[in-house]
Structure 1
């Protein structure tokens, strides 16, 4: 999958429609004449902005869209109402519809897939492609007109509930003509969050991948040596889970699947599909913990547990491993606050890998959020074109706005980082140091 653009409306702090565009301006037609989509789409883009301007909300909207494809036909059916997260600050949007649309390339062909939801379920759903020189409608769904049909060439009967996407149902049916498309979408997407709880889950997944052979110790050790943080080797410690803990986990999973899920959170949607009870083989899982051996002067240096490692080591592993997987396999990787706990030069290594077509031979794409202006400065070795730089800001009404650097008049030699920090492009916090000083004064005496 290659992402060309993503459009969202009425999701968390995003009230009005915003679009993240990864298409190069050189493409003037619906598809490149030579069929080379890599040359007309960006592998890298960053969203910059102050705290609470909606950077994470944009990534959350991405994750909601992919989660709806993956889970609306299964896990979401157990909820009492439609899982969604509309804008809440105007008294109107909560009863309106939320829109999500992906413009993408699957197996060399361009598609647009989108849907609208409200509190009752799916309002509209559509899928179009470009088989020749114009758009073709593959799927049309409209609740108001009680309409659900596919292109005659698909010859398939569709049966879905009011709160599940056709694409989510197709993901379950291997004989569906839309199955491979749906599978490619969910399989080509990954997200890395800055929250400690998410990093813990990510490290647990990496540990399981090591035990299963999907990721090697050599991979981890090489990534840690890239960061030059003194780790010489990595190993796993495995401990059997006591029976009472296994049963408690089973009850917790049951509660999760029967509870109300009227809202959405970017982290809580990481639940997996499965039966109402854990299978016996799942109950026999073990706790896997990382152990790190550092370079030192002692002949036999004791290994460090993950709790003893620095935030930088944990942050690097949590980001670098999924980045390595994306670069090897292709797909879309989202990283929230990519600069958190990472040195700017280490961040350059990561971004440079995606920007280099020799290294990134599968045209994996990285969309990240950041506060780090170094990336935008002339000192950075990673050159981002204006179309790859986006700024988030928030209006007085609390709604997120998204603008592209390409929309601003700019001299080719302008110092983007300096202008960004001085608020020329928006996306910087409106601070009140005098108020902070007043708070200090009021607490004295």
Structure 2
């Protein structure tokens, strides 16, 4: 469960920005004790104009997860850190990038973060919070093996692991690779508790792969098809079918694998032909005809694929991160996703939904009574230098009866594009006048 995410110098995010998942203190509520775990919101939505940086906030969290997962095992030893700094300012291109996340693991609060530049890891730290006060587990101040300061409560072969950690790899990743009990568990938490749903080709393929796995398990197959029927898409059920590949395709794949395996320095995994033989097809109500999912509408594919990740998050109590949650979905369907995460009878394990969207109906009350509370709404906006600022709706102290959707569209909170329609009309008038002169 996420409490807070802090980032600086990632794509359009130049200056340090913080996204909090902690619920705002209600008026009249007692102040929280230092030893208490704060109340966490189950949904966080980010709104803003096109190219304002909404997707970059989500991408920064995805990149952090990827670095934790892959830095020790996949990053080339002599090729530095494949980061994505702010490119519109020379100073930022050489400055370190910062990533930090506060999270809960087995009821305990931890804070883990790191700083990297193009060459190496420049800092890395991990703190726990027993009794509400920070306790250092480790603090790395540079890329060298002697630049570590370990807390007394962190046991195990930590010094040996430090000597095995490359300058461009994270110590947490190295500790997990060397089977450190606590750090391995925290590594697993951070790399498995978040699932990302993109809407490009690769993102949709990944989501449909998750659905394929769920449809092959009897206990989850029923839930997937129940959600599919409830969406009123005219689909009775989805199913996974297997068919043989054309012999010439199988032979071509085998030849390609042999050729790549013979190439110097390459270790190639054999092609997974079994997965290529499987495909999802959908049966319509009252019909014996089943169509491949690729022939269905974008909305049907979007709902089916996002439903699978939602079921997985609700089952595991994990974090689902969705960019453009409204893409190809009717507002009633996207609002239903939000309501699933907010319903305590459905969301029994503390799952969280983090999304970016342009769908302002989710801010209002037309679809349901206050889908998003005030502390669940955040905005992004770019300054004249192209840098993203992230800020919460609560900064504006909206009244309880205030129409947030209308206020947002009117620009009351910023984070909306401004298009002067009079200038648009003038542009076309000038163009028409030029054409009239040319034909005169």
TM range (shorter): 0.7 to 0.9
Distance 1:19 1:245 in 2: 50
Q: Paired residue for 1:19?
A: 18
- Pair 1:236-2:236 in alignment: no
Change (3 A) 1:421 1:324: same
2:189 to 146, 164, 184: 184
1:323 to 295, 300, 310: 310
Change (3 A) 1:237 1:383: closer
Distance 1:363 1:346 in 2: 21
1:203 to 204, 208, 223: 208
Report the Cα offset of residue 435 of structure 1. 5.1
SS of residue paired to 2:10 = coil
Between Structure 1 and Structure 2, whose CA radius of gyration is higher? 2
Report the Cα offset of residue 81 of structure 1. 2.8
- Pair 1:413-2:420 in alignment: no
Bigger relative contact order, structure 1 or 2 (CA pairs below 8 A, ≥6 apart)? 1
Q: Paired residue for 1:369?
A: 356
Q: Paired residue for 1:272?
A: none
- Pair 1:308-2:299 in alignment: no
Q: Paired residue for 1:98?
A: 97
Q: Check whether the contact 1:77–1:164 (CA below 8 A) recurs between aligned residues.
A: no
RMSD of aligned residue pairs (Cα, Å) = 2.5
2:227 to 223, 227, 236: 223
Distance 1:395 1:253 in 2: 48
Residue pairs, 1:130-141, within 5 angstroms = 130-141=129-140
- Pair 1:349-2:340 in alignment: no
Unpaired runs of 5+ residues, structure 1, are 259-274
Report the Cα offset of residue 194 of structure 1. 1.9
Q: Paired residue for 1:388?
A: 376
- Pair 1:49-2:48 in alignment: yes
SS of residue paired to 1:286 = helix
What's the TM-score once normalised by structure 1's chain length? 0.86
Change (3 A) 1:214 1:125: farther
Distance 1:440 1:92 in 2: 41
Deviations 1:346-371 (A, max 9, x none): 11211011111221110101111110
- Pair 1:150-2:155 in alignment: no
Q: Check whether the contact 2:210–2:305 (CA below 8 A) recurs between aligned residues.
A: no
User: How many corresponding residue pairs?
Assistant: 415
Distance 1:214 1:378 in 2: 37
Q: Paired residue for 2:284?
A: 294
Q: Paired residue for 1:264?
A: none
Distance 2:56 2:103 in 1: 21
Distance 2:96 2:425 in 1: 43
Q: Check whether the contact 1:206–1:215 (CA below 8 A) recurs between aligned residues.
A: no
- Pair 1:401-2:379 in alignment: no
**Which deviates further from its counterpart, 71-80 or 221-230?**
71-80
4+ residue segments displaced more than 6 Å: 251-254
2:268 to 260, 277, 285: 277
Report the Cα offset of residue 430 of structure 1. 2.1
Q: Check whether the contact 1:4–1:103 (CA below 8 A) recurs between aligned residues.
A: yes
Distance 1:334 1:204 in 2: 17
Q: Check whether the contact 2:260–2:268 (CA below 8 A) recurs between aligned residues.
A: yes
Report the Cα offset of residue 388 of structure 1. 1.0
Q: Check whether the contact 1:386–1:406 (CA below 8 A) recurs between aligned residues.
A: yes
Deviations 1:287-346 (A, max 9, x none): 3211111124xxx53211112211111111221111111111101110111111111111
Change (3 A) 1:124 1:53: same
Deviations 1:415-445 (A, max 9, x none): 1100100111111112244554456553756
**Which deviates further from its counterpart, 302-311 or 5-14?**
302-311
Q: Paired residue for 1:163?
A: 168
SS of residue paired to 2:57 = helix
Report the Cα offset of residue 233 of structure 1. 1.9
Q: Paired residue for 2:178?
A: 173
Report the Cα offset of residue 243 of structure 1. 2.7
Distance 2:279 2:196 in 1: 22
Distance 2:242 2:207 in 1: 17
Distance 1:197 1:438 in 2: 42
Q: Check whether the contact 2:338–2:371 (CA below 8 A) recurs between aligned residues.
A: no
Distance 1:401 1:409 in 2: 18
What's the TM-score once normalised by structure 2's chain length? 0.87
Change (3 A) 1:284 1:356: closer
SS of residue paired to 1:73 = coil
